[in-house]
Structure 1
């Protein structure tokens, strides 16, 4: 296993630990930090191991950060429909 995959699996462990900790803002600050750290790691994994591993890590990250994705898709659907 190379360092890119170690970093990705470390990110997943940190994300799960952060999800277990109580917060006042319903984990949104943690989600922003995880997204900012996860995008470069995802690029590194894809570059080092190919697109199959990149897609696998992307799906793992999406399963951890599912609520930001739900809100993003709702926002995009509202923008496409033309409602404020």
Structure 2
């Protein structure tokens, strides 16, 4: 296993373990930190293993951090439905 994949899987384990603990802000601070750390890891995985593996790791990360992605999608839809005049 390449080092980038090992780090990506450690990120996935850390993200899952973070979800087990109670949080006052519904884990949003942890989600922001995981996104900030995960984007460079995703770039490293994609660069060292290719775009197919990068897309697989992106899908795995998205499944863990689904609520930030859902809120981003809703925000993008609201922006496209009501263009600024």
In structure 2, stretches of 5+ residues that fail to align are none
| Superposition deviation, residue 81 in structure 1 | 1.0
Match of 1:12 in 2: 12
Q: CA RMSD in A?
A: 0.9
Give 1:32's aligned residue.
Answer: 32
Structure 1 runs of 4+ aligned residues shifted over 3 Å read none
Once the two structures are TM-superposed, the CA of residue 82 in structure 1 deviates from its matched residue by 1.1
TM-score w.r.t. length of structure 2? 0.95
The alignment of Structure 1 onto Structure 2 pairs a total of residues equal to 83
TM-score, normalised with respect to structure 1: 0.96
What displacement does 1:13 show? 0.2
* Structure 1 gap segments, 5+ residues each: none
